[in-house]
Structure 1
Amino acid sequence: MTELSPVGWLADQRLLWAALAFGSWLLLCWLCLVRPPRPKAMSSVTASEWLIAYASQSGAAQDIAERLLPAFHQHNLQPALLPLNALHPDALSGYSRALFIVSTYGEGEAPDNGASFWQRASNARPDLTSLDYSLLALGDRRYSDFCGFGRQLGDWLDGTGAKAALPRHEADRLDTYVLHAWHRRISQWTGLKLQAPSSAPFSYWTLCGRTQLNPESPGSPAWLIRLLPVGELPDWRAGDLAEVRIGSILRTYSIASLPEDGALELIVRQVVNDDGSAGQGSGWLCCHAEPGAMVEIQLRSNPGFHLPEDNRPGIFIGAGTGLAGLRGLLRQRQRLGCPDSWLLFGERCQQHDRWLAEELDAWTTEGTLLLDRCFSRAGDQPEYVQHRLAAKADQLRQWVDRGASIHVCGSLAGMGNEIHSLLQAVLSPQQWQALQEQQRYRRDLY
């Protein structure tokens, strides 16, 4: 029998342990390659790593984003809550986790408080391989490019190397099923107990009066609708919206009054269908409902159309029922004593479409309002509001240089789109960029 020497035995043991260690290292490398990295547990994620970013036109996406904050605060986390325009694409690399809640405006466009970000992002490809994100896209299937901006943003994020921690959720007109599903998945991903989304309840209001604003006009009748609540008058801000439920249909209207006026007022144009019948919503409000009828209404905040906090000059542009949202803003400025308000308003007939003439003319006489009325059927010189603004381009630039904000309310097709293109054409790139980045360009278009 051969006897092993102590030196030989130790050498064999060292070789064995070295082989085992090398094999373990190879196995670990293989696992790292084939297994995706696990998301960090909530306890290991710091506040500076979290971003909640939103792009919102009517306030819905912003509201959802803000409602996420309490759950983070309960875990001593202070995520950055920002509109997209407040971010540079490169800044996203400073976060490890992000929640994006974005609406689509018009036909696949970014909302105004996301447009500057998107313009920068379209020409940028930062390295976001360290970013995990979830995206909630809000849209309306009645438009051809449903959730268009949300989908573009998701594709862009994927192109930068960012990793979608969850599948993209797309909600049609704030579909509660989709919103609840997204919150459940976010709760599972983060470990946070998120409050399920909820909206303000509908309440009953009494129809107490309506006045036609354009008797004998060649256009469809337009009415000032006045409503009182059953119970205490709730609070709202100029620029907010009223969602009216009539049977199974919902209609959203800009609020034309302030709580200080003592009633909720809407401006509604009576829709006439091709067969001569009245539209369901406008027909009931303007024709069929008797005084004293009950109306179900839900008030909705619209922060993207509120006035700035200071008394800077204001330019207000609208046509038709777009006067509703502008009237609320102008009334608030009158109450606050803000100088330098300029209203450009367009309708059809000079003789019969001087809507709210007594009120607007009084402000003009007092010197608190500069008023330009435009009429598209004014004999030999028809004029749309965008034509008047183009003719006063020098004055527009001067007001913008003085820090004026611009509010546009009315139809997106036609007036809204043409005003948008005109502003881009007549303002300098610096003026246009400042308007967007300082949130001085605000739109309520439908």
Structure 2
Amino acid sequence: MKTNEAPGGPLTPEQWRLVNQLAQSLKPAQAGWLGAYFAGLDAGLRLPSSQAGSFMADVGRKLTILYGTETGNAAELARGLAAAVGAKGIECSLSDMADYKVRQLAQEDDLLIIVSTYGEGDPPQPATGFFEFVEGRKAPKLDGKRFALLALGDSTYEFYCEAGKRLDRRFEELGAERLIPRIDCDIDYEDAAEAWMATIIDKIAAEAGSGASPAAGVSSPTAPATVHDKRNPFSATVIDNIAIVGRGSTKETRHIEFSLEGSGLVYEPGDALGIAASNDPGVVSALIDALALQPDAEFEHKGQAAKLAEALTHRFEITTATPRFLDYWALLSEADALKQLLHEDRSGERSVFLHTHHIIDIVRRFPVADIMPQGLVSALRPLQPRLYSLASSHAAVPEEAHLTVAPVRYDLHDEARCGVVSGLLADRAEPDTVLPVYIQSNPHFRLPGDDAPIIMIGAGTGVAPYRAFLQEREVRGAAGKSWLFFGERNFRSDFLYQTEWQGWLKDGTLGRMDVAFSRDGNEKVYVQQRMKEQSRDIFAWLEEGAHVYVCGDASNLAPDVHEALTDIVASEARTGREAAEDYVRSLQSDHRYQRDVY
């Protein structure tokens, strides 16, 4: 039935109107998710009323699922959990920490929390406000409240899953009771997360008296096979791959275009393109040689026979050393130096060691004879996709996706090394190469309405999403003012997309542009200094309702720009530091200050 036809079936006219309105705004993946959710809800509603009633009605407790996410993994798990809870006939609410009204925390009963850790123990940027409230003096006592927490992280960092651990400790300090123990998940989180969700759902369902069978194998609802996502990427062909820096540049930056024709993939400015990784064949060969194994050595993986070279190329992370691999190699090699690093009080040294040694470096430094492929792969993490901010607007190029990529290159132990996927894109993704891709939504980096002013701040490849922003605004004929701050090393060689910015300045799509080329003068100048030079106008734009965006380096650019923004507010508003920080926090809570940093 077409959506504009007269309603039929069992729905009331008002229900049909709501369904019709929702259907017109859905993307394919969202429609698949809703299909699975309503199928589960239908099963719950068909249970006898004595079994199915809501959690609130039967137990007198409100159930809320909260998530804090940077790249979308926690959000995906939370949506899957909400659908699985709904399939048990249990009511719950689902909220992003970025949108959650923190004053509501005192009215909650049971909270299921899924949160990732960003960098060295920090919460996801969109969840910063939630953490500040919970860890601050204004947090309410939570006596009588209950919670369960799933923490996502990366074990190669010293403060592994620290954001989740912080909330776990704080909720206990505030008097809340754990429903089940916290689980910490590495980047291959799927199995551990599924087990945690099954356990908590079984507990809640038992308390609700739903009479439902145990929640074995809980996972996110499976989308139709034709929907391309992280589990089912689209095979995209590289259309073009060109260097966009000039002769003599000290950097290497490339513009890469993919064809999405026939994929059904859609995206919004601010979203990212996920690329399924594969390791450099030269790195694979070197590791196999160091292990004294044969490329065609066979082993069993997930119940099927696999060959070593193929598996190390496409299935496993073979560069970054992890605590899991360190445990394994310390056991095999019996090296005292490695055993010492396993002690709990050596976490800092262990983290430094892991960051300064790839797997092949450990294998060469502490050789072991007679390695079994099965044991080796059990100590390796699955190879994860990488995300790159999209440098194009779907409205402008509906069958394409563009990226701006600077390959990660460095020397380690007297050998040239390269990022897994950035090296793939720079060195092996020639035109007509086919790579598996998918769209990763980023709802925390979105354009406002067409009339709202925007201030875009970025350096290097951090300018990518702003190219998408301006393409989108050009297509839409948006009237809102726009201002770009861009930084790089040298004007002559590193002015990325220069002619495009100039074209948008000429036609008015871009209203203002300030640039900082740090290596052109005797003193280095960065974008935060250009911001301070325009302090009065920036504050005027903020007072007019401007939205501020920051994209780029998390360790230097993001904190320096944040500091500059706070200084600007303090200076122009003639207020104290604390009031300026409150002003900037309000921009964040109102989604007028958004960051995409890495």
Are 2:243 and 1:243 aligned?
no
Q: 1:314 aligns to what?
A: 454
Kept in 2: contact 1:234–1:259 (CA 8 A): no
Q: 2:404 aligns to what?
A: 267
In the aligned structure 2, how far is the partner of 1:174 from the partner of 1:68? 18
In the aligned structure 2, how far is the partner of 1:336 from the partner of 1:316? 18
Kept in 2: contact 1:58–1:303 (CA 8 A): no
In the aligned structure 2, how far is the partner of 1:140 from the partner of 1:278? 20
Kept in 1: contact 2:54–2:90 (CA 8 A): no
In the aligned structure 2, how far is the partner of 1:204 from the partner of 1:57? 25
Kept in 2: contact 1:139–1:172 (CA 8 A): yes
Deviations 1:217-275 (A, max 9, x none): 43221100111136335111111112212324532211111223131111111333313
Kept in 2: contact 1:86–1:117 (CA 8 A): no
Match for residue 241 of structure 2 among 201, 210, 222: 210
Match for residue 340 of structure 1 among 474, 477, 481: 481
Amino acid in structure 1 at the alignment position of 2:597: L
SS in 1 for 2:185: strand
Q: 1:289 aligns to what?
A: 429
Kept in 1: contact 2:407–2:419 (CA 8 A): yes
Q: 1:253 aligns to what?
A: 388
Amino acid in structure 2 at the alignment position of 1:45: F
Q: 1:433 aligns to what?
A: 585
TM-score (structure 2 length as normaliser):
0.63
Kept in 2: contact 1:256–1:327 (CA 8 A): yes
Q: Which moved more, 1:65-74 or 1:104-113?
A: 65-74
CA 1:172–1:424 in structure 2 vs 1: closer, same or farther (change >3 Å)?
Answer: farther
Kept in 2: contact 1:89–1:126 (CA 8 A): no
In the aligned structure 1, how far is the partner of 2:130 from the partner of 2:160? 20
Q: 1:196 aligns to what?
A: 219
In the aligned structure 2, how far is the partner of 1:319 from the partner of 1:115? 23
Match for residue 360 of structure 1 among 501, 513, 520: 501
| 1:431 positional shift | 2.4
| 1:375 positional shift | 0.5
In the aligned structure 1, how far is the partner of 2:157 from the partner of 2:174? 28
Q: 2:73 aligns to what?
A: 60
Kept in 2: contact 1:251–1:281 (CA 8 A): yes
Kept in 2: contact 1:206–1:294 (CA 8 A): yes
CA 1:389–1:291 in structure 2 vs 1: closer, same or farther (change >3 Å)?
Answer: same
CA 1:90–1:286 in structure 2 vs 1: closer, same or farther (change >3 Å)?
Answer: closer
CA 1:171–1:309 in structure 2 vs 1: closer, same or farther (change >3 Å)?
Answer: farther
**Pairing 1:323-334 to 2, within 5 Å after superposition:** 323-334=463-474
Kept in 1: contact 2:270–2:468 (CA 8 A): yes
Amino acid in structure 2 at the alignment position of 1:388: R
In the aligned structure 2, how far is the partner of 1:102 from the partner of 1:308? 26
Between the two proteins, the alignment pairs up a number of residues equal to 406
Kept in 2: contact 1:138–1:172 (CA 8 A): yes
| 1:335 positional shift | 2.0
TM-score (structure 1 length as normaliser):
0.84
Are 2:261 and 1:124 aligned?
no
Q: 1:9 aligns to what?
A: none
In the aligned structure 2, how far is the partner of 1:381 from the partner of 1:243? 38
Match for residue 104 of structure 2 among 66, 81, 91: 91
Q: Which moved more, 1:224-233 or 1:187-196?
A: 187-196
Amino acid in structure 2 at the alignment position of 1:403: G
In the aligned structure 2, how far is the partner of 1:278 from the partner of 1:429? 39
CA 1:310–1:151 in structure 2 vs 1: closer, same or farther (change >3 Å)?
Answer: farther
In the aligned structure 1, how far is the partner of 2:462 from the partner of 2:409? 18
Are 2:252 and 1:221 aligned?
yes
| 1:70 positional shift | 3.1
CA 1:125–1:286 in structure 2 vs 1: closer, same or farther (change >3 Å)?
Answer: closer
Deviations 1:138-158 (A, max 9, x none): 222333322221111111100
| 1:42 positional shift | 8.0
Cα root mean square deviation, aligned: 2.4
Q: 1:422 aligns to what?
A: 564
In the aligned structure 1, how far is the partner of 2:85 from the partner of 2:462? 39
| 1:90 positional shift | 5.1
Unaligned runs of 5+ in 1: 1-40
Q: 1:8 aligns to what?
A: none
Amino acid in structure 1 at the alignment position of 2:508: G
| 1:64 positional shift | 2.4
Q: 2:327 aligns to what?
A: none
CA 1:212–1:400 in structure 2 vs 1: closer, same or farther (change >3 Å)?
Answer: same
| 1:429 positional shift | 3.7
Q: Which moved more, 1:220-229 or 1:119-128?
A: 119-128
Q: 2:44 aligns to what?
A: none
| 1:332 positional shift | 1.7
| 1:424 positional shift | 3.0
In the aligned structure 2, how far is the partner of 1:252 from the partner of 1:345? 22
| 1:109 positional shift | 2.0
SS in 2 for 1:178: helix
Are 2:553 and 1:411 aligned?
yes
CA 1:111–1:276 in structure 2 vs 1: closer, same or farther (change >3 Å)?
Answer: closer
In the aligned structure 2, how far is the partner of 1:120 from the partner of 1:279? 37
Amino acid in structure 2 at the alignment position of 1:46: M
| 1:371 positional shift | 1.1
Unaligned runs of 5+ in 2: 1-50, 206-211, 223-229, 279-313, 315-382, 570-579
| 1:365 positional shift | 1.1
CA 1:253–1:379 in structure 2 vs 1: closer, same or farther (change >3 Å)?
Answer: same
Q: Which moved more, 1:100-109 or 1:423-432?
A: 423-432
Q: Which moved more, 1:274-283 or 1:347-356?
A: 274-283
Deviations 1:12-55 (A, max 9, x none): xxxxxxxxxxxxxxxxxxxxxxxxxxxxx985731771111122
Kept in 2: contact 1:206–1:228 (CA 8 A): yes
Are 2:537 and 1:385 aligned?
no
Q: 2:160 aligns to what?
A: 146
SS in 2 for 1:315: strand
In the aligned structure 1, how far is the partner of 2:437 from the partner of 2:424? 14
CA 1:71–1:285 in structure 2 vs 1: closer, same or farther (change >3 Å)?
Answer: closer
Identity of aligned residues (%): 30
| 1:322 positional shift | 1.0
Q: Which moved more, 1:287-296 or 1:354-363?
A: 287-296
In the aligned structure 1, how far is the partner of 2:565 from the partner of 2:265? 36
In the aligned structure 1, how far is the partner of 2:185 from the partner of 2:502? 44
| 1:383 positional shift | 1.2
Q: 1:133 aligns to what?
A: 147
Kept in 1: contact 2:133–2:139 (CA 8 A): no
SS in 2 for 1:259: coil
